[in-house]
Amino acid sequence: MGDRGAVGTRWGHWGHGGGDTGTAVVTPVPLPSSAGVCASAQRVPPPRGATPRGPQNLPGSPRRGPAAFEAALRAMERWPPGRGGRLALVEAALAAMEALGVERSVAAYNALLRLLPRGPWVPRGPVQRLLFPFPRQQECGLQLLEQMERYGVIPDAETRFLLLGVFGPRSRPLRKVQRMMFWLPRFRHLDPHPLPPQPTRPGLAAARLGLHRMAGDPGATVTVIQVGTGTGTLCPLCPPLSPGSQSPEQRELLAQHDPARAVFVEGPFPLWLRGTLLKYFVLRGDPLPPHLRNIPETPQYPERSFYFPLELQLELERGPWDDEEFDVDEVEEGPVFALCVPGAGDRRTLARWISALQEQNPILGRAPVVFRLNEGGADPREGPQTPRLGTGTPPGAGLEPPEEGERGGEPRKNNGE
Amino acid sequence: MAVASPSRARHGQHGRSTKPSEGRAAWWRCCRAERGTGGRAAVPPSRARDRRHKQEFFPYPEISNEELAEINEFVGPVEKFFNEEVDSKKIDQDAKIPPETLQGLKDLGLFGIYCTPILLYLKWICLGGRGGLGLSNTMYARLGEITSLDGSIAVTLAAHQAIGLKGILIAGTEEQKAKYLPRLASGEHIAAFCLTEPGSGSDAASIQTRATLSEDGKHFLLNGSKVWISNGGLASIFTVFARTEVVDKDGQVKDKITAFIVERDFGGVTHGKPEDKLGIRGSNTCEVHFENTKVPIENVIGEVGGGFKVAMNILNSGRFSMGSASAGMIKKLIELTSEYACTRKQFNKKLSQFGLIQEKFCLMAVKAYVMESMAYLTAGMMDRPGFPDCSVEAAMVKVFSSEGAWACVSEALQILGGLGYMKDYPYERYLRDTRILLIFEGTNEILRMYIALTGMQHAGKILTEKIKYKGNMGVALGEFLTRLQDTLGRKVDLGLIGDRGVVHPSLQESAKKLEENVYYFGSTVRGLLSRFGKTIVEEQLVLKRVADVVINLYAMTAAISRASRSISIGLRNHDHEVLLTNIFCTEAYFKNNYAMAQLEKYADENLDDSIKKAAKQILEKRAYICSHPLDKTF
């Protein structure tokens, strides 16, 4: 959900400052007159620019963004006005908003509301108000509000003012907008891990964001590797960049890993950032079998703290009243040593990632690295694919990163086994 | 009354247990024992035990007239030197103690205060009357009072003798002592203590400096870096702690810490530039690097692999003097600020007539009095023959006095208003210098853990023995009956007051409060042990309160004991002492009761849970996460 200030600045040229300035409406779209209404229920063909994903072929006009939407509205203006026609226009515009990239802008919704006539749909007198007046018109208003709600757009005072003009007080859209204005601000910061307001496009920035969200350690370093060019120059024609993340703790864990045991590259797993799907791979180890686990890797010193005893030599245990631990059955998982969102999910890229990791983790040169890849990819529509680490049966994969084109170590799919 | 004569003090110094975890924590034992027997005070053996513990604190330790004369004779010139020749402002500005001041300190013998009678003996045999003074802990405390008038000098002296040469003193061989101590005591050589490393503060396992035995087995090769070494640039003798490989009993090779005496002349010793610090700017603090320094095998302090205990003993033994040092500084501050408060007029009234100003003076006097009492009580106990381990008491003195000093200096500045903030006056320097007291020689947090855990260990042992003897049910039943009696109302009598009491009747009320606190504290501790068992190590918020209560109890004991003595022998202004003691004891009594009431509660009631949760949320984001008060959502 957009930060209000940012939205205001970004859509500032719509003439609406983004604040709660209320009724001071400066609109580039002239309000349609309700006179001369064509009451026929004929289907108004949507303007060209407003069709979902339809390219706008007007020369020089932008394909996305508020400017495109504005242009589309202007095009709508040229259509013969009419109450039914207006409704169909608004409905079509609502459907097209996502394609134009304005679905999170409150100013865009307000502009749509301005298309609706003021006055004629306001019920006259209490009796008419009781009898569900103008149902289709009110449904249209509700649909607009529902779409706002779906995208988390908080209506502002202007929205309410426009609805008041169109539907009158105590109408269903007005009641809904009041409820929305009450609740939506309160839910605005519910998400403890908010995504940036603008949708992320797949690419380096999205990958970085995804890595940061998965591995929340601020000390984690993100290394970007590039496959295909030996020199590592960044140019638009070069193969896609593959950022990988590893925190100091993960590095330490990997250093303690027994080189005789294999480490695994697994993936791809899906990661959604709003509507963007990323595929990521993990480098992980298997959980140690219990008989090996209790041996500490670093020698424990009985004499360790210079100043105070680290443990008491007592035979008294903790009483049940102060035992605040829940009885939790933990699922055993192996340690995750590194994450990567490769630009391309092929083995060559992954092998390059592993060799880049090797610079800081020399143990990777000694331990066998097993690739367990789902060739099907990470599209969740193909089947449930959640990262279940250490639970799959180890496939007979090659111990070395396979060369490009070599099919040795045929990986199996994890699902269905 | 055990009089601390120098000859007896000698035994006191060396009879100390080398294992602090096994050492007797006298104060704790006293609390426990008094608690354990308080309910059944009529049982004779317990009564006898009570009396023995009481004897450790009552009456207040005294020194003989000759010793007093000796101390005064020595203190006079030192005081004169500090008042007339030490320019603290210049030291602070230049961040350097001028050589002539340093020489003056050496001439006064201040670099050898702490060298024990062994050195005194050596002095007479070898040096024919020159060199260190060989004074008792009491003397050291007394001199600390004066040297603290300049923080930089105090720290330089302390780094030299309280930790720098202490290793040789308490764990060195006769040859090492004979070789090094004379020159160290005379100040010809300055010592430094090299323990802290970039990656290692109080964690011995992360020490990286390494000493490897040469092939001929006669030398160790020392490699590594130490940081924040006081006197690092001045010293020519270093006590260095490094890892060495030691073959275990079962034949395994293990890394253990070993202490070495390293001379600068061994080669390969370099130091960085002096650090720029907030306070104690005149003291020299810098990095020290050792690169293939050849240390002969004779220079190992203690045994190879025994460095951990050496370090612990050094660190544990030197802290008590901070009490007298802080008191000395506060006394000076009271003089300076009262002068101001009695002359400055506002609204036709002197500052000294305002209640809020009076309160500050009272606070300073109470704190100074109590920390002085604690420091000299501890010093006196350490000087006693055969009295083993006072490390817990010393830690209590350090925590109480460092925090007291910080509070008092802050209040003094407050009295002075804007004047105190100006660099033209010495007060801001005192404030900066005082801040280090809460940090060095073990931060107060760490020492609180030490105090509480050492005591818990001791109390826990007694409780487990009791359980072994009586069985679980027996103990539980006994506890139930005691609690029942407590709730029905109990008069606690530990024998401090009354016919055979040791406290003067004027302090009756304070002594009663102390007794009551001690009794219920014992009960609280038993409750904690049965609740947490050995996992109490993890309960730092609980342990902090325990430590606070113990520190207060010890402070009350010291103040009552001293004031009692003052009345009894008729010292000048003893009524003032009684007043201060009563003020302190009443305040501490309420604080203790509050802390104990919190200790009785579970973590969700005494806020511990919430505190931890809040901290966790902040640390997860590594920032203050509240929204700005001006933020809006609509």
Could you tell me which residue, B505 or A378, shows the higher pLDDT? Answer: B505
CA–CA dist B610, A174 (Å, integer): 42
| Tokens standing for residue B418 | 């804007």
CB pairs under 8 A between A and B: 107
Weakest mean pLDDT among A337-351, B74-88, B525-539: A337-351
Q: Strand, coil or helix: what is B286?
A: strand
Band (B20; pLDDT cuts 50, 70, 90): very low
Residue in the block written with tokens 């007896």: B8
pLDDT for B551: 96
Could you tell me which residue, A405 or A325, shows the higher pLDDT? Answer: A325
Catalytic-residue membership of B600: no
Weakest mean pLDDT among A76-80, A116-120, B17-21: B17-21
Q: Strand, coil or helix: what is A243?
A: strand
Asked if residue B300 lies in contact with residue B334, where contact means CB atoms within 8 angstroms, the answer is no
Q: What average pLDDT does range A298-316 have in this prediction?
A: 74
Weakest mean pLDDT among A393-402, B517-526, B578-587: A393-402
Nearest beta carbon to residue A186 from set B205, B446, B633: B633
Q: Is the ipTM of this complex over 0.90?
A: no
B219-230 vs A221-226, strand pairing mode:
unpaired
B 586-625 residues with CB below 8 A of A? Answer: 602-603, 622
Q: Strand, coil or helix: what is B564?
A: helix
CA–CA dist B542, B539 (Å, integer): 5
Could you tell me which residue, B74 or B223, shows the higher pLDDT? Answer: B223
The C-alpha of A181 sits at a distance from chain B's nearest C-alpha, in angstroms, of: 8
Could you tell me which residue, A288 or A282, shows the higher pLDDT? Answer: A282
pLDDT per position as a tens digit, A17-48: 333 333 333 333 333 333 333 333 333 344 44
Residues of chain A found within 8 Å of residue B533, distances taken between Cβ atoms:
314, 316-319
pLDDT for B163: 87
CA–CA dist B310, A287 (Å, integer): 41
Q: What average pLDDT does range B202-210 have in this prediction?
A: 87
Question: Does the N-terminal peptide bond of residue A52 adopt cis geometry, omega within 30 degrees of 0?
Answer: no
Looking at the complex, does the CB of residue B469 fall below 8 Å from at least one CB of chain A? no
pTM beyond 0.90, yes or no: no
Nearest CA in chain A to B391: A307
A 142-171 residues with CB below 8 A of B? Answer: 154, 156
State the amino acid at position B150 in one-letter form: D
Q: What average pLDDT does range B323-346 have in this prediction?
A: 93
State the amino acid at position B358 in one-letter form: Q
Q: Strand, coil or helix: what is B514?
A: helix
Residue B566: name the closest of B145, B59, B2 by CA.
B59
Burial of B508 (0-12, 13-18, 19+ CB in 10 A): middle
What separation, in Å, do the N-terminal and C-terminal C-alpha atoms of chain B show? 76
Weakest mean pLDDT among A54-58, A137-141, A218-222, B384-388: A54-58
CA–CA dist B35, B59 (Å, integer): 21
Could you tell me which residue, A401 or B578, shows the higher pLDDT? Answer: B578
The C-alpha of B632 sits at a distance from chain A's nearest C-alpha, in angstroms, of: 9
Question: Does the N-terminal peptide bond of residue B59 adopt cis geometry, omega within 30 degrees of 0?
Answer: yes
Burial of B385 (0-12, 13-18, 19+ CB in 10 A): middle
CA–CA dist A332, B67 (Å, integer): 70
Q: What percent of chain A has pLDDT over 90?
A: 15
Looking at the complex, does the CB of residue B262 fall below 8 Å from at least one CB of chain A? no
Nearest beta carbon to residue B534 from set A184, A218, A316: A316
CA–CA dist B195, B193 (Å, integer): 6
The b-or-e profile of B557-588 (16+ CB within 10 A means b, else e) is: bbbbbbbbbbbeeeeeebeebbbbbbbbbeeb
What does the mean pLDDT of chain A come to? 72
Instruction: With CB atoms and an 8 Å threshold, state whether A314 touches B460.
Output: yes
Residue A405 scores a pLDDT above 50: no
Asked if residue B364 lies in contact with residue B408, where contact means CB atoms within 8 angstroms, the answer is yes
pLDDT for B582: 96
Q: Strand, coil or helix: what is B466?
A: helix
pLDDT for B388: 62
Q: Which of B34, B441, B515, B539 is catalytic?
A: B441
A 289-348 residues with CB below 8 A of B? Answer: 298-299, 301, 303-319, 321-322, 324
CA–CA dist A415, B605 (Å, integer): 49
CB within 8 Å of B281: residues ≥ 6 apart? B91, B92, B93, B95, B152, B432
Tell me how crowded residue B469 is: count the other CB atoms within 10 A of its CB. 9
Asked if residue A291 lies in contact with residue A397, where contact means CB atoms within 8 angstroms, the answer is no
CA–CA dist A250, A217 (Å, integer): 10
How would you classify residue A204: left for phi > 0, otherwise alpha for psi between -120 and 50, otherwise beta?
alpha
Residue B86 scores a pLDDT above 70: yes
**Backbone dihedral angles phi then psi of residue B201, each to the nearest 5 degrees:** -100, -80
Weakest mean pLDDT among A392-396, B418-422, B571-575: A392-396
